[in-house]
A = this chain, B = another copy of it.
Amino acid sequence: MNNFEYKNPTKIIFGKDSIEKLTNEIPKGAKVLLLYGGGSIKKNGIYDQVKKALSSIDTIEFGGIPANPEYDVLMKALKVIKDEKITYLLAVGGGSVIDGTKFLSAAALYDGDTPWDILKNNIRSTKGMPFGTVLTLPATGSEMNSGAVITRQETKEKLAMGGPGLFPVFSILDPQVITSIPQRQIANGLADAFTHVLEQYMTYPVGGLLQDRFAESILQTLIEVAPAVLKDPTDYQAASNFMWSCTMALNGLIQQGMPGDWAVHMMGHELTALFGIDHARTLAIITPSHYTYNFESKKEKLAQYAERVWGVTEGNLDDKAYAAIEKTEAFFKDLGIDTKLSDYTKDFEGTAEEIAKRFTNRGWKGLGERQALTPQDAEKIVKMAY
């Protein structure tokens, strides 16, 4: 096990009818900016629950944060924060709204030339304007971590940021919100959380026995609840385990002491930036190719995953490892998610080369668990995913 430092101060308020507890979490005298997305919260009743809980609190609203939170939109919200002397942010939404709020938390206290620096130079934020979240879509884990990914249309870039100052003060998780989520987004959430675990688990062994078992626990739970969540979102047992699994998949815990890979995300982000494909679907596209391309270095863990998570008992180590890749791809397909780039666009020729060029231009040293994958490796992996 590698050395690690771990601290996660976010307060989780989990369960039925927990949105009303919002009232107790916002400090007295705060001036709140309520941030949300495309307005679905106004249709499904969440907006009303939030407004009721905030009735005695000075609140301004900023809606319209898009999926893949857009820098230019967020800069408008930042102007509101400054003009209105906002002191507290409240994100009501999924990963995009929460990620956007993290950027605003950092940008509101940033004293450099332009907040773009935070993204361009990946400046670690040790302080931020305090914020809470009301999660409306389980998927990204953003509600209990300190990272964010922000998109800039102008340059077709998707860049990561974060730091210990950007944990939500609190996050409210009411599994009942799942009843109002479209099937497509539930499927995306399942695939997203599943891949988050894989990025931290499908790495070279360092003797993190407990971490491996925790990762396998989340994967097993997601596999177990996926059919029930998709069939009947009012199934509270399935919904609550789905929601808590998504949070635990990316709150830092299973990563401690372990190498991370994240190459799937790096390549996937480019597919979203280039084609606007849903984040989770880009992960389903890249994952099988990435594990096939890196088979030799990952086969021990792939075989362990095949045995423990999928119950594969037959064959030698290589057979089990290959079965693991097949089972994973089949899982995505069972969710209704296609796993080839050509399923999403006819215009895929040249994509692999374009992504390799972008990686090269950014001066990146290497991707993956050993930072050893070159832009040329990425090119081959993406091509395998056509």
Residues of A whose CB lies within 8 Å of any CB of B are 1-16, 18, 175, 207-210, 213-214, 216-218, 220-221, 224-225, 236-237, 240-241, 244-245, 248, 253, 256-257
Contacts and interface: CB of A to CB of B under 8 A. Distances in A.
A3 B173 CA distance: 10
Contact of A245 (B8, B16, B18, B210): B210
A216 B212 CA distance: 12
Given A14-B256, A213-B217, 10 more contacts: A1-B236, A3-B18, A4-B12, A5-B14, A7-B10, A8-B9, A207-B237, A210-B244, A213-B218, A253-B253
A14 B6 CA distance: 8
Contacts of A207: 236-237, 240-241
A168 to B, nearest CB: 11
Contact of A214 (B3, B7, B175, B214): B214
A278 to B, nearest CB: 25
**Copy count, this protein chain:** 2
B6 A240 contact: no
A139 to B, nearest CB: 16
Contacts of A209: 221, 224-225, 237, 241
A250 B240 CA distance: 22
Nearest to A214: B217
Contacts of A12: 4-7, 256
A1 B257 contact: no
Contacts of A245: 210
Nearest to A11: B7
Nearest to A4: B14
B244 A1 contact: yes
A211 B328 CA distance: 23
Nearest to A167: B9
Contact of A244 (B13, B16, B248, B257): B257
Contacts of A1: 15, 175, 236-237, 240-241, 244
A58 to B, nearest CB: 25
A220 B241 CA distance: 21
A367 B288 CA distance: 51
A245 B3 CA distance: 15
A218 to B, nearest CB: 7
A7 B5 contact: no
A61 to B, nearest CB: 27
Which 8 A-B residue pairs are closest in the complex by CB-CB distance?
A: A3-B15, A213-B217, A207-B237, A7-B11, A9-B9, A1-B240, A6-B12, A210-B221
Contacts of A4: 12, 14-15
A145 to B, nearest CB: 14
A256 B236 CA distance: 16
A356 B52 CA distance: 50
A220 B210 CA distance: 8
Contacts of A218: 210, 213
Contacts of A236: 1, 207
7 contacts: A3-B16, A7-B11, A207-B236, A207-B241, A210-B221, A213-B221, A214-B214
A288 B6 CA distance: 36
Contacts of A13: 5
A221 B213 CA distance: 8
Nearest to A224: B209
Contacts of A216: 213, 217
B18 A11 contact: no
A250 B9 CA distance: 17
Contacts of A175: 1
Contacts of A225: 209
